């Protein structure tokens, strides 16, 4: 498929604000398809199909492909160019406002596959949305920014909230590295193909995922501080209570958030839950302001403390400079969707009690 010719034919320009960089490398497409390991009975969800280059290949191997595209202009192209493929369903809309198994995605049953070249600026949001959905995929094969791939597969010492979140629900691994020249227009960064195989249930058999993310947000919200101080401030708990909890969990109070493994975070959360103090403190702290205001305040504080502005401290939010160059109006609206009270309650992914 000639991407440039199609764009000219339909009088379209790649939209930078939507993170549109179209994959043009046949070799990379083959690597993605090999990683997907599709079978004739598979149902595939593709997020951001663009001009349909990958969609055509998916349709050749899967029973059905459900392609969700936000850009109405690209939807018109897809509707015409993919019309001969009866097993492709094109949906115009925002994937973050759709729930697998319902809301336009009713064809998706547990065990579906996700294969997608994700727009970089919503990678974290889409990951969080799909990994925590009630109807979960068996695995995801995603094209993401190289730095994002490294963060997803990080080990203790380099952990982030993004890494802990992904590794709680599945096992991420890098399948291939993709040079920038494999896309049109050519982005400023390299990419990678990542595969995440989901567990049957969250790793460690977490009793209270909401509480775990409260603790994680507190720890990574001030990741330059020692855990004793970051958790005490983030959870509104006495330092002595946090120190004792860390001791019981077998974690040195002077360590920092990025050095802990997922298993250690789970132990810390379990001990803090036994104290039965975390939730009341969080209610008092956050119910005095709406969720969007709470996040804006936290991000402002983080910007002043952390030079690299690693806002993956928030599930579903990724505003690192490498991830995208500017915060556009559309991106702001996506963050609002993720954290509006209605969206949080509807998706079942509330991280603020």
Answer whether residue 56 shows pLDDT above 60: yes
pTM of the full predicted structure? 0.76
Q: What is the mean pLDDT of the chain?
A: 81
Mean pLDDT of 57-74: 96
More confident residue, 117 or 289: 117
In this predicted model, what pLDDT tens digit does every residue of 187-210 receive, in sequence order?
999 999 999 999 998 887 777 889
CA distances from 32 to 12, 66, 176, 192, 193 (A): 26, 17, 9, 10, 7
| Per-residue model confidence as pLDDT tens digits over 85-104 | 999 999 999 999 999 999 78
Rg (CA), the chain: 21
Lowest mean pLDDT among 126-140, 236-250, 297-311: 297-311
In order of their start, the domains of the chain are 3-198 (3.40.50.150), 209-347 (1.10.8.100)
Q: Which two tokens stand for residue 90?
A: 């094109």
Q: Name which residue leads in pLDDT, 346 or 70.
A: 70
Confidence band for 156, pLDDT divided at 50, 70 and 90: very high
């Amino acid at each position: 498929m000639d991407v440039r010719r199609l764009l000219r034919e339909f009088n379209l320009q790649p939209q930078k604000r939507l993170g549109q960089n179209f994959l043009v490398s046949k070799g990379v497409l083959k690597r993605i398809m090999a990683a997907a390991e599709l079978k004739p009975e598979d149902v595939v969800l593709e997020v951001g199909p663009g001009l349909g280059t990958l969609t055509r290949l998916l349709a050749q191997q899967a029973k059905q492909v459900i392609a969700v595209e936000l850009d109405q202009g690209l939807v018109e192209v897809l509707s015409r160019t993919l019309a001969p493929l009866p097993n492709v369903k094109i949906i115009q809309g925002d994937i973050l406002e759709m729930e697998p198994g319902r809301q336009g995605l009713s064809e998706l049953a547990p065990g579906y596959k996700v294969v997608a070249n994700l727009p970089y600026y919503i990678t974290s949001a889409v990951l969080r949305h799909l990994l925590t959905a009630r109807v979960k995929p068996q695995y995801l094969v995603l094209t993401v920014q190289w730095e994002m791939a490294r963060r997803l597969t990080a080990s203790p010492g380099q952990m982030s909230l993004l890494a802990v979140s992904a590794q709680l629900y599945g096992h991420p691994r890098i399948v291939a590295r993709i040079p920038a020249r494999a896309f049109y227009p050519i982005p400023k960064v390299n990419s990678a193909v990542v595969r995440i195989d989901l567990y049957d249930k969250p790793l460690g058999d977490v009793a209270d995922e909401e509480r775990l993310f409260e603790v994680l947000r507190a720890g990574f919200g001030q990741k330059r501080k020692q855990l004793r101080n970051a958790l005490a401030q983030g959870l509104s708990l006495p330092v002595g209570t946090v120190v004792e909890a860390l001791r019981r969990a077998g974690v040195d109070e002077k360590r920092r958030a990025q050095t802990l493994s997922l298993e250690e975070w789970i132990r810390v959360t379990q001990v803090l839950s036994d104290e039965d103090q975390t939730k009341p403190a969080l209610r008092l702290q956050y119910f005095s302001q709406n969720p969007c205001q709470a996040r804006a305040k936290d991000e402002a504080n983080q910007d002043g403390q952390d030079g690299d502005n690693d806002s993956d401290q928030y599930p579903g939010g990724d505003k690192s400079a490498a991830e995208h160059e500017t915060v556009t109006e559309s991106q702001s609206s996506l963050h609002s969707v993720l954290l509006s009270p209605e969206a949080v309650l509807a998706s079942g992914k509330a991280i603020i009690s």
